[in-house]
Every structure is written in structure tokens, then in C-alpha cells.
């Protein structure tokens, strides 16, 4: 008997949040329904990570590369619409799963949402001014189910049809049993078994502002005695920074969640995926909020700091970061933060999200 056909639509961004969240759900779908046929349609320039996780993908150029290579907006829009519509028409899915942008990144999904398939929207929290936007509210009724990757539906505001929503908690790309123990994780990364190791990560690598954060983090950790910094160079980073004394560069490893237990602490951007992965793995962190159009990283970091689950460096200055990293060097502080983090993210919502999708297939 043929399995359900499911398309996951992931647009590009400055990081890998959309792709990672949908990959996590797709892995859970495959576990629950091995016969399912799964296809990604993506404009992420890190589409190679989809292949490495064992899924096929139809690749569109990203908005970023369109600007850099000189494609006009009208040419790009027509091409993206044509490719997206053709892929969906030929694959003829039973379910279409869309993350963050219910109408697509340039409204190309509006006609598609009226086709035969069931539609599922993954609705992660956004800036308050985006929650109730006219376009988002108009597109939501076109969906048969809304998956909320939080514990509280209130984190995405008031929905026009709340009965369609299913809260599943944070969605992660690995299950807890897939995380390596500390020693095994350090061996997998080729890191010393002993010593204080900090992980530095500022997104998937597509944000130019990350270079400054990496530089300041290297200085702050370098000022500590017997501490080493391991920088995560995301798959979207085109020019990795040079690694100086006491700094190790991990070139494009993805995902990092399974080896996060290797680290005593982390200095990281406050994006949805990064934050929940660190909490889930029990890695004490200093979070650095970055400005994003949709994602309110500052509010997320402040809320977690208020709950005792992290430290916050805001604004990002050398003195502020040195102070925060100095506090993170204290073992008791790390134990307290790590314990509170594990309490806040006890499980992975990917399985519940997959169940909600397969119910419609």
C-alpha cells in the first residue's frame, strides 16, 4: 500500500531555522510512517543538509543570491512561482506543510492552498506586530491544521480558528537518546577530553553581524584561564573567521544538537532553534539577541533569563560580553542554568507534530 505524500515548504533566511524545524518533523514522520513519500521545496542555500538527512529537495535560488547575482525581482518571482507550482502539481501531495510564512515568502502559495491537499502551518512565535497582520490572518483559514511549536498557544497570539491549533512544545531535530555523552561528543568533534570548553554560535552563517559577535566572543573566552572556544561556522557562512590561539573552528557541522553535551557552556544567538537545543541538551548559555524582522530574540532571551535558564548579553559590547562569559565560567552558575534549562525543555515536539500531520494524510 502506498504511503502518504508530504511536501515540506521551507524558505530561506539568515539561518537554518525553517529548514531545521521541518527536517525534525520529517524525520518523525518517517519513523511513524516509513512508507511516506517526502519532498522538500526550499530556497535555502544550505539545501545540502536536507540531502544529508536523507530527503529529496527541489531547490529555488534564495532571495539573497538573487540580489547578488543580478536577477530582477520580476524574473525571480515568475520563476519561483512556476517552479513551486510545478513541483507541487507533479508530486500531488496529500499534505503540504509550511513554516512561518503561510502565504509563502512572496505570496506564491495563495493559489496552491486551494488545491486538493490538506494544508498544515507551523506557527512559531513572531514579533507581536506580526502576530495579527492582515495577510497572516487572511491566510490562516486556508490551513486545515496549525502546529504551534510551543507549550502555550498564547505565544502566537489570537487565532481566527483556534480549534485547528495543536500545541506540541519545542520541535528539535534530534531525540534525547541521539545525543552523545560528554566524552563521546568530544571525541566525535576531535576535542580534548579535559578542560573548559565553550561553544560559540551565531546562527546558520547568513548574518553579516555574526562576524563581530564571533570576534568579541573569542576575546572574552581568551581572557579566561584554561578555557577554549569552539566556534560553530554555520553552513551558510561563506568566509569562516580565522581561528586564533585557544579557538577551534568547526567547519559547517550540522546539526550540532547531538554533540552539544561536549560543551561546558555556550555563547550564542537567541534564535528559536539554537535556544531550545541548548536548553534541551542542558548547556548553560549566555544569549546574544540579534535584530530580526520576524523573530523577537531580545524578548525570548529576557524571558529565559527571568526564569533563571540563561544569561543575557544586551547590548553586545566587549565589556558586557566579558562580564557574562566571566559569570558563565563559574561552575555553580553553569549547573544552575543547565538544570533550569532541562526543566523548561523536557521533550521533543517533533513526534507530536508528525502525528498531527499524518492524521490528515
pLDDT band at 128 (very low <50, low <70, confident <90, very high): low
Task: Give the pLDDT score at 146.
Answer: 97
Domains of the chain: 5-172+347-358 (3.40.50.2000), 176-344 (3.40.50.2000)
User: CB neighbours of 194 closer than 8 A, spacing ≥ 6?
Assistant: none
List the end-to-end C-alpha distance of the chain, in Å, as a whole number. Answer: 14
179-209 per-position pLDDT tens digit: 999 999 999 999 999 999 999 988 655 566 6
221-240 per-position pLDDT tens digit: 988 988 999 988 665 555 55
Residue 132 has pLDDT above 60, yes or no: no
Q: What is the DSSP string of 66-134?
A: HHHHT--HHHHHHHHHHHHHHHHHHH--SEEEEES-TT-TTSTTTTGGGSSSEEEEE-----HHHHT-H
Could you tell me the three cell numbers for 277? 537545543
Bridge partners, 291 (sequence order): 296
User: CB neighbours of 251 closer than 8 A, spacing ≥ 6?
Assistant: 233, 240
288-339 per-position pLDDT tens digit: 998 876 788 999 999 999 999 999 999 999 999 999 999 999 999 999 999 9
* Distance in angstroms (rounded) separating the CA atoms of residues 67 and 74: 12
Residue 156 has pLDDT above 90, yes or no: no
Q: How many other CB atoms are found less than 10 A from the CB of residue 128?
A: 10
pLDDT band at 109 (very low <50, low <70, confident <90, very high): very high
Task: Give the pLDDT score at 250.
Answer: 83
Percent of the chain whose pLDDT exceeds 90: 64
Q: What pTM did the predictor assign?
A: 0.92
Q: In the block, which residue shows the cell 517526502?
A: 38
Task: Give the pLDDT score at 349.
Answer: 98
Q: Report whether 25 contacts 173 (CB < 8 A).
A: no
Distance from the Cα of residue 292 to its chain's centroid: 14
Average pLDDT over residues 343-360: 97
Amino acid at each position: 500500500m502506498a504511503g502518504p505524500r508530504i511536501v515540506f515548504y521551507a524558505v530561506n533566511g539568515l539561518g537554518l531555522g525553517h529548514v531545521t524545524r521541518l527536517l525534525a518533523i520529517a524525520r518523525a514522520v518517517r519513523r511513524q510512517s516509513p512508507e511516506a513519500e517526502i519532498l522538500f521545496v526550499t530556497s535555502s542555500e544550505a539545501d545540502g543538509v536536507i540531502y544529508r538527512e536523507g530527503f529529496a529537495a527541489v531547490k529555488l535560488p534564495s532571495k539573497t543570491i538573487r540580489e547578488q547575482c543580478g536577477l530582477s525581482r520580476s524574473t525571480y518571482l515568475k520563476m519561483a512561482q512556476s517552479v513551486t507550482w510545478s513541483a507541487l502539481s507533479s508530486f500531488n501531495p496529500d499534505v503540504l506543510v509550511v513554516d512561518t510564512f503561510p502565504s509563502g515568502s512572496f505570496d506564491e502559495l495563495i493559489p496552491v492552498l486551494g488545491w486538493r491537499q490538506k494544508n498544515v502551518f507551523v506557527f512559531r512565535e513572531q514579533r507581536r506586530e506580526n502576530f495579527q497582520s492582515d495577510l497572516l490572518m487572511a491566510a490562516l483559514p486556508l490551513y486545515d491544521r496549525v502546529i504551534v511549536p510551543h507549550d502555550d498557544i498564547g505565544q502566537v497570539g489570537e487565532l481566527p480558528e483556534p480549534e485547528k491549533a495543536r500545541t506540541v512544545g519545542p520541535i528539535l531535530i534530534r531525540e534525547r537518546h541521539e545525543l552523545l555523552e560528554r566524552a563521546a561528543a568530544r571525541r566525535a568533534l576531535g576535542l580534548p577530553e579535559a578542560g573548559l570548553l565553550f561553544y560559540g554560535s551565531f546562527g546558520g552563517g547568513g548574518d553579516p553581524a555574526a562576524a563581530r559577535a564571533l570576534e568579541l566572543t573569542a576575546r572574552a573566552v581568551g581572557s579566561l584561564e584554561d578555557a577554549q572556544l569552539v566556534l560553530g561556522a554555520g553552513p551558510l557562512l561563506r568566509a569562516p573567521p580565522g581561528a586564533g590561539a585557544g579557538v577551534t573552528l568547526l567547519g559547517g557541522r550540522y546539526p550540532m544538537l547531538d554533540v552539544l553535551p561536549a560543551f561546558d557552556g555556550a555563547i550564542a544567538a537567541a534564535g528559536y532553534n539554537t535556544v531550545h537545543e541548548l536548553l534541551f541538551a542542558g548547556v548553560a548559555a549566555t544569549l546574544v539577541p540579534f535584530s530580526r524582522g520576524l523573530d523577537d530574540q531580545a524578548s525570548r532571551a529576557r524571558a529565559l533569563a527571568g526564569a533563571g535558564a540563561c544569561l543575557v548579553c544586551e547590548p553586545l559590547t566587549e565589556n558586557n560580553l566579558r562580564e557574562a562569559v566571566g559569570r558563565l565560567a563559574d561552575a555553580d552558575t553553569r549547573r544552575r542554568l543547565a538544570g533550569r534549562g532541562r526543566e523548561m525543555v523536557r521533550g521533543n515536539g517533533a513526534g507530536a507534530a508528525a502525528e498531527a500531520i499524518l492524521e490528515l494524510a
